[in-house]
């Protein structure tokens, strides 16, 4: 193997944060993913990184840039995508059939051990699948990339909370969830003010459940309807979001939906998000009306999932900071 | 009043928590992909030395603590307070027993110490890692005794007691590691 670039360091932060060995592993894994989808007959696509519309999700802030020139002489704000979801669904509505994309996505305000403001996402869509059938495929893909055979556990969101915290997350009030966090000894809960019930669920998930998860792959599915995002909600008591997450060693790796295809419901959710943004003083961003129009024109029933490549590489490389798998993370970008 | 938001949190940042000045040891950004972001922080209370954990909601802010570190010269103790002086400005501050803590065992006139001040008042006195102190009392060792074993106790000019080799005698200057409280070597007069 040739000499490492690190040896030629000339200024602090000039050398890559990831080792060349890790970058080779990264390239190998991405190549394997492409082979997997080629064998499955899933088409690789590209969609715009910069869009006129942004995600409305109040938990995700988009980075913004600006284009000025032919087509927009007065200048046009463009939002860097936080996931390629909307344009990929427009392709599905146009009859693309199953598609996947590997791309950089961007999120403002997110940097830490498991976050870099730009990161690599693998996102794919399967017409005719529901979220359970897509979990099977995620398991085949991720399991096939693991050095040892891996069988994923599957637990509903409710079962997960009941097993670990002896609380049913669906009927629990914010006050009950707060008391649960107090009992669990989450430090500083007595002084913590959170905006809504879902934030308390997120606190319990990140502080009590994730750290106690067994090693290996674990799917969590059927989320509270209030956390449906872009998934369909199955009527019932309580209604449940047909959404899943994949955890690897307690780290969130992928998020998937049995996709909402109802244009009117999608528009209502966007509007609700924007109201929540306005109320919280967050930027009220333009919703993707072309995406709504595509849903209105008819998008096939499908399931879709987004998987964080960097975190997957972290596990395969055996490192515990996302900077160790990215050549030039934020601190060196 | 100055405040810091969670996005400014990093190791070494001095903040007020529950009325006490604290130093952030470690800050972890925690966020579900589609959910609430948190800052999970390890913090040292500078008055008690205790390390605690605390979770903040991202975007919350906390009061900044007016904490600074200075290298000051130890002058003397009047029994209640320990007095230090800035070698350039001759400005003096006095520290109470709580601030001096275990450092009292190693404090020798004119030695330089790292003093942590909160709102201008010393809260931590750190002595150098190595200090030279004179032995005021130790049993005479047997000449030629080079046996490994434990050595013998010696009382130093500051009152501290350390174990020294048998050949070291009363009146000698020795070098001590203040972190472990162990004898290092004989020392020369400066």
Q: What is the pLDDT of residues A17-76, one digit of tens each?
A: 999 999 999 999 999 999 999 999 999 999 999 999 999 999 999 999 999 999 999 999
Asked if B36's CB is within 8 angstroms of A113's CB, the reply is: no
Q: What is the mean pLDDT of chain A?
A: 95
Mean pLDDT of A319-330: 97
Domains in chain A: ranges and CATH: 5-152+216-332 (3.30.930.10)
Q: Using CB atoms, pick whichever of A186, A207, A255 lies closest to residue B33.
A: A255
A57 neighbourhood in chain B, CB within 8 Å: 34
In three-state secondary structure terms, A182 is helix
pLDDT above 70 as % of chain B:
95
**Partner B contacted by A194 (CB < 8 A):** yes
Element (H, E) at A309: helix A309-317
**CB–CB contact B28 A252 (8 Å):** no
Residue B126 pLDDT grade (very low, low, confident, very high; cuts 50, 70, 90): very high
Q: How high does pLDDT run on average in chain B? A: 92
Q: Is the predicted pLDDT of residue A3 greater than 80, yes or no?
A: no
| Strand ranges of the sheet holding B67-77, from the earlier edge strand across to the other edge | B92-95, B82-85, B67-77, B112-118, B121-126
CA proximity to A257, closest of A72, A126, A99: A126
| C-alpha to C-alpha distance for A135 and B165, rounded to whole angstroms | 70
Q: What is the mean pLDDT of residues B116-145?
A: 88
Size of interface A-B (CB pairs under 8 A): 73
Give the pTM.
Answer: 0.87
In this complex, do B36 and A198 lie within 8 Å of one another by their Cβ atoms? Answer: yes
- Most distant CA pair in chain A: distance in Å? 62
What was the ipTM of the complex prediction? 0.91
pLDDT of B127 above 80:
yes
Q: Which pLDDT does position B188 carry in this prediction? A: 84
At B190 the pLDDT is: 64
Helix (H) or strand (E) holding A292, with range, is: helix A289-298
State which residue of chain B sits closest to A223, comparing Cα positions.
Answer: B34
At A248 the three-state DSSP class reads strand
Q: How far apart are CA A201 and CA A172, in angstroms?
A: 9
Chain B residues in contact with A115 (beta carbon < 8 A): 29, 31
- Averaged pLDDT, B7-21: 95
Residue A169 contacts residue A225 (beta carbons within 8 Å): no
Residues of chain B positioned with their CB less than 8 A from the CB of A192: 55-57
Test A113 with B52 for CB contact under 8 angstroms: no
- Cβ-defined contact of A199 to B57 (cutoff 8 Å): yes
Q: Is A215 on the interface with B (CB under 8 A)?
A: no
| Averaged pLDDT, B117-125 | 95
Nearest chain B Cα distance for residue A186, angstroms: 8
Q: State whether residue A50 sits within 8 Å of chain B by CB.
A: no
User: What DSSP letter does each residue of chain B carry, written as one string?
Assistant: --EEEGGG--TT-EEEETTEEEEEEEEEEE--TTS--EEEEEEEETTT--EEEEEEETT-EEEBP-EEEEEEEEEEE-SS-EEEE-TTT--EEEE-HHHHGGGGGG--TT-EEEEEEETTEEEEEE--SEEEEEEEEEPPPPTT----S--EEEEETTS-EEEE-TT--TT-EEEEETTTTEEEEE----
Q: Which residue of B has its CA nearest to A195?
A: B36
A110 touches chain B (CB under 8 A): yes
Residues of B in Cβ contact (< 8 Å) with A193? 57
Mean pLDDT computed over A227-246: 97
For the stretch B66-114, pLDDT in tens is 999 999 999 999 989 999 999 999 999 999 999 999 999 999 999 999 9
Q: Which residues pair with B61 in a beta bridge?
A: B5
Supply the pLDDT for residue B189.
74
Paired strand residues for B174: B133, B186
* Residue A119 in this model has a pLDDT that exceeds 90: yes
A-chain residue closest to B10, CA distance: A112
Task: Give the pLDDT band (50/70/90) at residue A11.
Answer: confident
pLDDT at residue A2, as a whole number: 47
What pLDDT is stored for residue A257 in this prediction? 98
- Is any Cβ of chain A less than 8 angstroms from the Cβ of B53? yes
Cα separation, A306 vs A167, whole angstroms: 29
Residue A169, pLDDT above cutoff 90 = yes
Instruction: Mark yes or no for CB contact B29/A110 under 8 Å.
Output: yes
User: Cβ–Cβ of A112/B29 closer than 8 Å?
Assistant: yes
Question: Do residues A127 and A302 touch, judged by C-beta distance below 8 A?
Answer: yes
| A251 lies within 8 A of chain B by CB | no
Q: What local confidence, expressed as pLDDT, does residue A205 receive?
A: 98
Distance between start and end Cα atoms, chain B: 47
β-strands A43-44, A99-106 pairing: parallel
First to last CA, chain A: 26
Chain B residues with CB under 8 Å of A250 CB are none
> Nearest by CB to B29, which of A111, A192, A194?
A111
CB-neighbour burial class of residue A95 (10 A; exposed 0-12, middle 13-18, buried 19+) = exposed
Residue-range domains of chain B with CATH? 3-63 (2.30.30.30), 67-126 (2.40.50.140), 130-186 (2.40.50.140)
- Tell me: the pLDDT tens digits for A210-222? 999 999 999 999 9
Give the residues across from B125 on adjacent strands.
B115
Q: CB–CB of A192/A148 below 8 Å?
A: no
- The rounded distance, in Å, linking the Cα atoms of A260 and A272 is 16
The per-residue pLDDT for A1 is: 45
């Amino acid at each position: 193997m040739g000499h490492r670039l690190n040896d030629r360091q000339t200024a602090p932060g000039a050398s890559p944060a990831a080792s060349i060995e890790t970058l080779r592993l990264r390239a190998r894994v991405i190549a394997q993913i492409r082979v997997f989808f080629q064998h499955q007959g899933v088409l690789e696509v590209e969609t715009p990184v910069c869009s006129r519309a942004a995600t409305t999700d109040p938990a995700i802030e988009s980075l913004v840039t600006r284009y000025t020139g032919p087509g927009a002489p007065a200048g046009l704000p463009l939002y860097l995508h936080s996931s390629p979801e909307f344009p990929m669904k427009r392709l599905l509505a146009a009859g693309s059939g199953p598609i996947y994309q590997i791309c950089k996505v961007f999120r403002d305000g997110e940097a830490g051990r498991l976050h870099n403001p730009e990161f690599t996402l693998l996102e794919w869509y399967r017409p005719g699948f529901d979220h359970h059938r897509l979990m099977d495929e995620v398991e085949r893909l991720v399991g096939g990339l693991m050095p040892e055979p891996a069988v994923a556990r599957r637990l509903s969101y409710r079962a997960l909370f009941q097993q670990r915290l002896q609380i049913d997350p669906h009927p629990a009030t914010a006050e009950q969830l707060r008391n649960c966090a107090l009992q669990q000894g989450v430090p500083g809960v007595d002084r913590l003010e959170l905006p809504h019930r879902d934030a308390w669920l997120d606190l319990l998930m990140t502080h009590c459940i994730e750290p106690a998860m067994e090693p290996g792959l674990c799917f969590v599915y059927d989320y509270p309807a209030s956390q449906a995002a872009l998934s369909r909600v199955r009527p019932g008591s309580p209604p449940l979001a047909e959404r899943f997450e994949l955890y690897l060693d307690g780290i969130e790796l992928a998020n998937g939906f049995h996709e909402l295809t109802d244009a009117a419901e999608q528009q209502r959710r966007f509007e609700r998000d924007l109201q929540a943004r306005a109320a919280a003083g967050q930027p009220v961003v333009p919703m993707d009306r072309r995406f709504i129009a595509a849903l209105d024109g008819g998008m096939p029933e499908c399931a879709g999932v987004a998987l964080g490549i960097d975190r997957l590489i972290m596990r395969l490389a055996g490192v515990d900071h996302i900077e160790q798998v990215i050549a030039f993370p934020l601190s060196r970008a | 009043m100055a405040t810091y938001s969670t996005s400014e949190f990093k190791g070494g940042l001095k903040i007020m928590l529950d009325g006490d000045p604290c130093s952030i040891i470690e800050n972890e950004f925690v966020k579900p992909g589609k959910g609430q972001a948190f800052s999970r922080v390890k913090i040292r209370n500078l008055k008690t030395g205790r390390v605690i954990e605390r979770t903040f909601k991202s975007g919350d802010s906390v009061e900044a603590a007016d904490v600074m570190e200075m290298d000051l010269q130890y002058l003397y103790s009047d029994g209640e307070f320990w007095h230090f002086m800035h070698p350039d400005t001759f400005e003096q501050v006095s520290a109470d027993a709580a601030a001096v803590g275990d450092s009292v065992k190693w404090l020798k006139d004119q030695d330089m110490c790292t003093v942590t001040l909160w709102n201008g008042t010393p809260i931590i006195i750190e002595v150098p890692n190595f200090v030279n102190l004179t032995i005021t009392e130790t049993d005479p060792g047997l000449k030629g005794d080079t046996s490994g074993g434990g050595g013998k106790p010696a009382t130093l000019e500051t009152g501290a007691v350390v174990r020294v080799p048998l050949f070291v005698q009363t009146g000698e200057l020795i070098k001590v590691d203040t972190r472990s409280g162990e004898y290092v070597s004989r020392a020369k007069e400066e």
